[in-house]
Structure 1
Amino acid sequence: MSSPPLMTYLHHAPLLFTTPTDPLAAFGPLVARRTPEDFDSRPYESFSLAPVTPTIGAEISGLRLGGDLPDETLAELRRALLEWKVLFFRDQAIDRAAHRDFAARWGELETHPFFKYTQPGQSAGDVATLAKDVKTAAAENIWHNDVTWHTHPSFAAVLRAVEIPPVGGDTLWADMGAAYDLLPDDLKARIAPLLAEHDWMQSFGRAMPQDAIDLLRPKFMPVQHPVVRVIPETGRRVLFVNMAFTQRIVGLPEAESNALLTMLYRHVQRPEFQVRLRWQPNTVAFWDNRSCQHYANSDYYPARRVMDRISIVGERPVGIAR
């Protein structure tokens, strides 16, 4: 039997999660696998790991972050990152140098081309200082993967708390593997071959002077990535569209593209896919940018919040082999 046409889903999009007849309305248990069935699930020996939710987020203890961690420990951390998507480290009284040294163990460090125009207080090319206060309000409260407008979006990021507000300013991550797994099978088949266009003009471009746009636009043109991305180490399929940078589904009429993206965005925002970090002094978060989206709560204005983020260059996204 052939699957229903895409518009069978799309005409329900404005009503997602409101009625039992919704194609994506799931009531009761909503649990996805944390990893593929053949994932190496041996216990970790180099550190202690405490899950925060069933599929995403784990606290790691017993390590001090830096560039001198043994290769065996890094291998276990990589496995933990693939399993839990985001790792939290408390009581890491480290400086910027140790932060950079730890991040550099994972690959080439990324230089963000736009932050010097949009984020005041930048002092290093490979460290993005996210300083928010009464003068510079936070604007990262939108679900996104970092730099998907790049041909090679970030593999991962390491975020270190420099100064936190008295209350608020939590960060949330959402598991895009769980989100994909819990789509209906016929909708998975529909989106499997699709590509989406990603761009920075409607986000960073809005906050940049025209001369900077004219300089950088030829270097960073719109790019296309698969709607369903495959994580190379595990074969895990993840949704790879986000509200900040995805512009359209390639080859679909505008109305159909907008409706499909709206439906997927509302789906990935389900709390069952999320983990929430309440920052404390000397907390570090390390996440796989390929397999999860994140959202920085902007509920602390006009208090001050300062974070240092270092990102690691990733590979070009690959979709499902057809």
Structure 2
Amino acid sequence: MASPEVVPLKAPLGARIEGLDRADAGRPEIASLLNRALGEHLLVIVPGERMTPEQMRGFASAFGRPKPQVLRYKRSGTVPEVSIMVSTLMADGTTDKTALRSEDWHTDDSYLATPAKATLLHSIELPSQGGTTWFCNMHSVYEALPEAVRRRIDGKRAIHSYDTSRARNRPSRRTAQEVAETPDVEHPLVRTHPETGRKALYLNFNRLDRIVGMEREESDALLDALAVEARKPEHHHGHAWSLGDIVVWDNRATMHRVDVDYPVGEARVMQRVLIEGDRPY
């Protein structure tokens, strides 16, 4: 049996997995190959056919333990580790606010003490055009910063909140139980990848509220300056979706966002799985 091939993209991050039977993802040697590719390339694209939530959970297990997301209303009823992400733009104005928040750069789960290691997104329904998902290599962002800036931010910590005034759009409302599960948390501004040892700038424009030990004005100015580097296209790759794609990204060293430029009323539905991670350091 031929082994799948990891084909690096001509981009700042990413690789495509060719020749993979997704049913084999749980085999130790295949899971090892997938996780090595994720750590090295930060973004893994696996083409194929549409999967059921049960199949999606099984495939995701190759990357670690799937975990349910905080917002209960997004969970698939029969498979709670799989979320159904509907980002269809509705003509009547009822579009889920989380679809619009996805326009800005973010990393998943940073408002939790132990954010997700990785996210898997699987396309189930796609609009006729638009909806590219963009990814940012936060290793290269950190490495591109001037030495004086890196010295200034190394060792600094920051507060991540479910919502922050710095975000452009407000998130979905939480139930009382979900509020209790999501107090503000503190993370390093520069985190070290536990598998490769490389440093990455740990930003989230939707959740990062302020730098510990700084007045708001100074904190905002520094975060804005760091955002300038993260927004530079030399750190980015855009994935144009095909039906059935599974895209896996490493939340420990990437941010992502989506172009909300697709036609109103055309369905855009994804299945999403989060993989348990470790406390950032």
Q: TM-score, normalised by structure 1?
A: 0.78
Aligned position for 1:183: 145
1:60 is paired with a residue whose SS is strand
TM superposition shift of 1:53 = 3.0
Aligned to 1:316: 279
Map 1:39-54 onto structure 2 (within 5 A): 46-54=3-11
Give the partner amino acid of 1:88: I
Where do 4+ consecutive residues of structure 1 move more than 6 Å? none
Q: How far off is 1:89 after superposition?
A: 1.3
Whether 2:256 is the aligned partner of 1:294: answer yes
Matches of residues 1-322 of structure 1 in structure 2 within 5 Å? 46-66=3-23, 69-116=26-73, 119=74, 122-123=76-77, 124-133=79-88, 134=90, 135-136=94-95, 138-139=99-100, 140-202=102-164, 206-208=171-173, 212=175, 214-302=176-264, 303-318=266-281
Give the secondary-structure state (helix, strand or coil) at the position aligned to 1:196.
strand
* CA RMSD after TM alignment: 2.0
> 1:60, 1:160 → 2: CA distance?
15
> Following TM superposition, by how much is the alpha carbon of 1:95 offset from its aligned partner in structure 2, in angstroms?
2.5
Q: Out of 64-73 and 98-107, give the one that drifted further.
A: 64-73
Determine the C-alpha separation between the residues in 1 that align with 2:192 and 2:126.
Answer: 35
Whole-angstrom CA distance in 1 between matches of 2:146 and 2:130: 36
Provide the C-alpha distance between the structure 2 equivalents of 1:112 and 1:127, rounded to a whole number of angstroms. Answer: 8
1:255 partner SS: helix
Q: Which runs of 5+ in 2 are unaligned?
A: none
- Over 3 Å counting, the alpha-carbon distance change for 1:68 and 1:290 in structure 2 is closer
Of all paired residues, the percent bearing the same amino acid is 29
The 1:296–1:115 alpha-carbon spacing in structure 2 relative to 1, beyond 3 Å, is farther
Amino acid at match of 2:7: A
The runs of 5 or more residues in structure 1 that have no matched partner are 1-44
Whether the aligned pair in 2 keeps the contact of 1:150 and 1:220 (CA below 8 Å) is yes
Q: Distance in 1 between matches of 2:132 and 2:25?
A: 29
Q: Does structure 1 retain, via aligned residues, the 8 Å contact 2:17–2:46? A: yes
Please report how far the alpha carbon of residue 125 of structure 1 lies from its aligned counterpart in structure 2 after TM superposition: 2.2
Aligned CA distance change for structure 1 residues 104 and 301 (closer, same or farther; 3 Å):
same
Residues 67 and 105, structure 1, Cα contact 8 Å, conserved in 2: no
Q: Size of the alignment, in residue pairs?
A: 268
- Match of 2:241, SS state, is coil
For residue 161 of structure 1, what is the amino acid of its counterpart? S
The TM-score, its normalising length taken from structure 2, stands at 0.89
Mapped to 2, the partners of 1:68 and 1:59 lie a distance apart of 15
- Alignment partners' CA distance in 2, 1:261 and 1:115: 31
Q: Distance in 2 between matches of 1:100 and 1:294?
A: 22
After superposition, the C-alpha distances for 1:21-51 in whole angstroms (9 at most, x for unaligned) are xxxxxxxxxxxxxxxxxxxxxxxx8322222
Shift of 1:115: 4.9
Looking at structure 2, the residues matched to 89 and 215 of structure 1 have their Cα atoms a distance apart, in angstroms, of 35
